[in-house]
Amino acid sequence: MATFAWDFQPKLDRRAVEDLFTLAFIQHQEDLLITGKCGTGKSHILKALVITACAQEWTVRYSRCVDLIDNLYAGLADGSYERRMKSWCRPTFLVIDDVGLGQLKRRDDEPTAAHMLFTLLDRRHAHLTTAITSNIKLSAWGRYLGDATLAAAVLDRLAATSIRIDIDGPSYRQHQAHERAKKHGLELPGEDAS
């Protein structure tokens, strides 16, 4: 976290985030849910936690949500779904990044992404730690995952055992783009030259 721009996200509780790096939440089988707009530092924080957990020799698995769901759908196609689900359930610390980014595929004869995520989190619930980031409102998870009832059940399980951090701030990537444009004397679309 040495490179994290704390001053750029002044509403973010630095002490609460830094406290995560003790990894006590993993020892207590607590989950972590980090929400916020794109570019606010959610993935940066999780990837730094992954490095810290690996350094302490925890078993860790990281995936974007869309890739995890694609992997499970592939298991439905080739008959390895249960084996794949067990492998996702195994790590002490599972990180699911970017719920809300990427298009989830589904055929009518297959379970929804919500069903798969519910099954995964239900099996891990209160036994192992899962960390999730999302750039969409929690109320939009039902539409994104394909089943509002199961998405509500997923969120209910997370609410029971999770530490929740919401990053309410601007995109650091957009800030960098504006700084680069200024450095080169360029004007980004939507900006007034005055």
Domain ranges of the chain: 13-183
Measure Cα distances from 133 to 98, 163, 164 in Å: 5, 12, 10
What confidence score (pLDDT) does residue 172 get? 56
- Of 2-16, 80-94, 98-112, 141-155, give the lowest mean pLDDT range: 2-16
pLDDT at 193: 41
Burial of 191 (0-12, 13-18, 19+ CB in 10 A): exposed
Residue 161 φ/ψ, nearest 5 degrees: -135, 15
Q: How confident is the model at residue 178 (pLDDT cuts 50, 70, 90)?
A: low
For 14, the token pair is 């630095």
Q: Is the pLDDT of residue 192 over 70?
A: no
Nearest-angstrom CA–CA distance, 108 and 146: 11
What is the rounded average pLDDT of the residues 148-173?
85
pLDDT for 194: 38
**Model confidence over 48-57: pLDDT tens digits?**
999 999 999 9
- Residues 25-53, mean pLDDT to the nearest whole number: 92
Closest CA to 118 of 85, 71, 81: 85
**For residue 136, what is the DSSP state?**
S
Query: Which CATH architecture describes the domain 13-183?
Result: 3-Layer(aba) Sandwich (3.40)
Kindly report which listed range (7-11, 32-36, 141-145) carries the lowest average pLDDT score: 7-11
Judged against a pLDDT cut of 90, whether residue 109 lies above it is answered with no
pLDDT of residue 177 exceeding 80, the answer is: no
User: What is the per-residue pLDDT for 111?
Assistant: 84
Task: Determine the pLDDT at residue 40.
Answer: 82
